[in-house]
């Protein structure tokens, strides 16, 4: 069957689109979730058009061969990891901005376009593409759509799905469906666009995305505040979000601050329990008023230090500590970057619980993330060559997910379920929701060939 599979694919694709070299296949086996298992693909295909994606899926359906789509491979949940004998379908050759309508404030792009390129192209027309995952410089729009990626500014501007007006996707049988459109409002029929966004390649292969663009925001005012207690930091977050709409609201715990300070000394108060970073891009008097309210909220919550600046360069220096959080922790050992979300009112409880888990399991855990929407990233640091350390890290990982569910939260806010979180998905969704998920999967992919073993 494998010989026939390759023969049929080679008859439909140009030579450069079909790869069987073992070294290249090895490089396309997994994403950045080193913890997650990965199989060995049979072949790598690199289509350059929707028609070529259709051809691949028709062959795959005929042979009942799994298809795992991938972009830049920057995912953090194992969602793009290969399964044995599969076709890995790379969308990196589909990397064009097809259209940008300045008056309509939208762009039509292919899935292999980098987030950074969409931002740069929008900026050339005086516009802005808002979604900004930490991987924005090297992740693709297709990958962002697959996981419904978030980022620092999503507290005000939403996640990737909030910027997707419509899309084109190839279904498992090779048919093409178009959802949504180019209008800002569209309630005709079921919201199939939202169905595909965040589906991690299990329902179809997204081949075109229409994204919403915005006017560029005014220069921002940036605030930093240090807190002696996690409770105080949590209280500041809820108060800020109750009365303002910051364009960024980030938090780092003590462990993360110490890692950053060891990596690049910045004068951080490493004895503080938490550091809060906020921004207002409202501009003018409204921006000043927002920042004043945020300062007051931090001081009322017991902050021992508060500073703010409207200078862009100074603001970037303040935010620089947050951008260094993961690289700083990564320097201390092997890491597992987690991704969980809780209600705003329970952030302090989550942070305290993580500190307790770290102490009980004997694992270094630095927590940072998007405090404004409760999406935090506990990052476990361990020695991958020490079996006992690996076992303790795995146990701590599971402990965190259980705490999150107990707090009424979610096991993933923006990285996706993939392989890493799959064992916990049913517990969050409940049996009836799982049944509905499976019914949708069966309807769109009856042979189960699209990214099998992920999500459900």
The residue assigned the tokens 């396309």 is 28
Range of the structural domain that residue 430 is part of = 333-445
Within this chain, do residues 316 and 354 fall inside the same structural domain, yes or no? no
CATH number for the domain spanning 315: value is: 3.30.70.2190
CATH number for the domain spanning 422: value is: 3.30.70.2740
The residue assigned the tokens 């799982």 is 434
**What number is the average pLDDT over the span 280-302?**
94
Give residue 288's pLDDT band: very low, low, confident or very high (50, 70, 90): confident
Within this chain, do residues 81 and 111 fall inside the same structural domain, yes or no? no
CA distance 411 to 402: 9
Give the pLDDT confidence of 88-111 residue by residue, as tens digits: 999 999 999 999 999 999 999 999
Is the model's pLDDT at 2 over the cut of 80?
no
Within this chain, do residues 26 and 49 fall inside the same structural domain, yes or no? yes
Give the pLDDT confidence of 110-123 residue by residue, as tens digits: 999 999 999 999 99
Judge whether 422 lies within some domain.
yes
For residue 400, list its beta bridge partners: none
Judge whether 450 lies within some domain.
no
CA distance 41 to 84: 5
Percent of the chain residues topping a pLDDT of 90? 92
**What number is the average pLDDT over the span 290-313?**
94
Is the model's pLDDT at 176 over the cut of 80?
yes
Burial of residue 69 (CB within 10 Å: 0-12, 13-18, 19+) is buried
CA distance 304 to 298: 9
Mean predicted lDDT score pLDDT of the chain: 96
CB 291 within 8 A of CB 308: yes
pLDDT (0 to 100) of residue 1: 52
Give residue 320's pLDDT band: very low, low, confident or very high (50, 70, 90): confident
**What number is the average pLDDT over the span 65-92?**
97
CB 107 within 8 A of CB 122: yes
Give the pLDDT confidence of 387-425 residue by residue, as tens digits: 999 999 999 999 999 999 999 999 999 999 999 999 999
Structurally, how many domains does the chain consist of? Answer: 4
Judge whether 452 lies within some domain.
no
CATH number for the domain spanning 171: value is: 3.30.465.10
Judge whether 270 lies within some domain.
yes
The set of residues, in sequence order, having a beta carbon less than 8 Å from that of 287 and lying 6+ positions away, is: 218, 220, 221, 280, 281, 310
**Of 61, 90, 119, which one is at a domain's C-terminal end?**
90
Within this chain, do residues 105 and 211 fall inside the same structural domain, yes or no? yes
CA distance 205 to 189: 21
Give the pLDDT confidence of 122-133 residue by residue, as tens digits: 999 999 999 999
Kindly report the backbone phi and psi dihedral angles of residue 405, in degrees, each rounded to the nearest multiple of 5, phi listed first. Answer: -65, -35
**Of 282, 301, 329, which one is at a domain's C-terminal end?**
329
Within this chain, do residues 153 and 166 fall inside the same structural domain, yes or no? yes
Judge whether 424 lies within some domain.
yes
Give residue 310's pLDDT band: very low, low, confident or very high (50, 70, 90): confident
CB 370 within 8 A of CB 152: yes
Give the pLDDT confidence of 24-41 residue by residue, as tens digits: 999 999 999 988 999 999
Cα dihedral: 385, 391, 397, 402 (round 10):
180
**What number is the average pLDDT over the span 441-449?**
98
For the chain, give the secondary structure using H, E and C. CHHHHHHHHHHHCCHHHEECCHHHHHHCCCCCCCCCCCCCCCEEECCCCHHHHHHHHHHHHHHCCCEEEECCCCCCCCCCCCCCCCEEEECCCCCCEEEEECCCCEEEECCCCEHHHHHHHHHHCCEECCCCCCCCCCCEHHHHHHHCCCCCCHHHHCCHHHHEEEEEEECCCCCEEEEECCCCCCCCCCCHHHHHCCCCCCCCEEEEEEEECEECCCCCEEEEEEECCHHHHHHHHHHHHHHCCCCEEEEEEHHHHHHHHHHCCCCCCCCCCEEEEEEECCCHHHHHHHHHHHHHHHHHCCCCEEEEECCHHHHHHHHHHHHCHHHHHHCCCEEEECCEECCHHHHHHHHHHHHHHHHHHCCEEEEEEEHHHCEEEEEEEECCCCHHHHHHHHHHHHHHHHHHHHCCCECCCCCCCCCCCHHHHHHHHCHHHHHHHHHHHHHHCCCCCECCCCCC
Judge whether 275 lies within some domain.
yes
Is the model's pLDDT at 192 over the cut of 80?
yes
Within this chain, do residues 317 and 388 fall inside the same structural domain, yes or no? no
pLDDT (0 to 100) of residue 408: 98
Within this chain, do residues 8 and 82 fall inside the same structural domain, yes or no? yes
CB 364 within 8 A of CB 353: no
């Amino acid at each position: 069957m494998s010989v026939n599979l390759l023969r049929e694919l080679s008859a439909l694709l140009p030579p450069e689109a079909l790869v069987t070299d073992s070294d290249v296949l090895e490089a396309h086996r997994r994403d950045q979730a080193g913890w997650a298992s990965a199989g060995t693909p049979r072949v790598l295909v690199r289509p350059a058009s929707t028609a070529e994606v259709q051809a691949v899926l028709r062959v795959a359906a005929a042979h009942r061969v799994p298809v795992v789509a991938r972009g830049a491979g920057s995912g953090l949940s194992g969602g793009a990891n290969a399964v044995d004998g599969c076709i890995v379908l790379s969308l990196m050759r589909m990397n064009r901005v097809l259209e940008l309508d300045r008056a309509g404030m939208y762009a039509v792009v292919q899935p292999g376009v980098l987030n950074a390129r969409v931002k740069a192209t929008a900026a050339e027309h005086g516009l802005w593409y808002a979604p900004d995952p930490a991987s924005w410089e090297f992740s693709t729009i297709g990958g962002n759509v697959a996981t419904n990626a978030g980022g620092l500014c999503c507290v005000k501007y939403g996640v990737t799905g909030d910027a997707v007006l419509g899309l084109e996707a190839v279904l498992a049988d090779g048919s093409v469906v178009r959802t949504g459109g180019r209008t800002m409002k569209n309630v005709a029929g079921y919201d199939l666009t939202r169905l595909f966004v965040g589906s991690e390649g299990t329902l179809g292969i997204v081949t075109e995305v229409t994204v919403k663009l915005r006017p560029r925001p005014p220069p921002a005012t940036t605030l930093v505040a240090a807190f002696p207690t996690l409770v105080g930091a949590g209280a500041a977050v809820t108060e800020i979000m109750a009365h303002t709409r910051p364009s960024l609201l980030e938090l780092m715990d003590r462990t993360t601050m110490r890692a950053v300070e060891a990596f690049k000394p910045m004068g951080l108060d490493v004895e503080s329990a938490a550091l809060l970073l906020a921004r207002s891009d409202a501009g003018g008097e409204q921006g000043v008023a927002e920042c004043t309210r945020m300062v007051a909220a931090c001081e009322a919550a017991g902050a021992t230090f508060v500073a703010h600046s409207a200078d862009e360069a100074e603001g970037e220096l303040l935010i620089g500590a947050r951008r260094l959080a993961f690289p700083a922790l990564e320097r201390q050992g092997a890491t597992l970057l987690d991704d969980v979300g809780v209600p705003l009112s329970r952030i302090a409880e989550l942070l305290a619980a993580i500190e307790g888990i770290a102490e009980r399991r004997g694992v270094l855990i630095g927590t940072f993330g998007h405090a404004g929407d409760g999406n935090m990233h506990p990052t476990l640091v361990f020695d991958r060559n020490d079996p006992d350390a690996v076992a303790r890290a795995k146990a701590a990982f599971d402990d965190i997910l259980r705490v999150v569910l107990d707090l009424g939260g979610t096991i993933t806010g923006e990285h996706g379920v993939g392989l890493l979180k799959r064992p916990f998905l049913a517990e969050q969704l409940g049996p009836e929701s799982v049944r509905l998920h499976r019914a949708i999967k069966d309807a769109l992919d009856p042979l189960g060939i699209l990214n099998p073993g992920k999500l459900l």
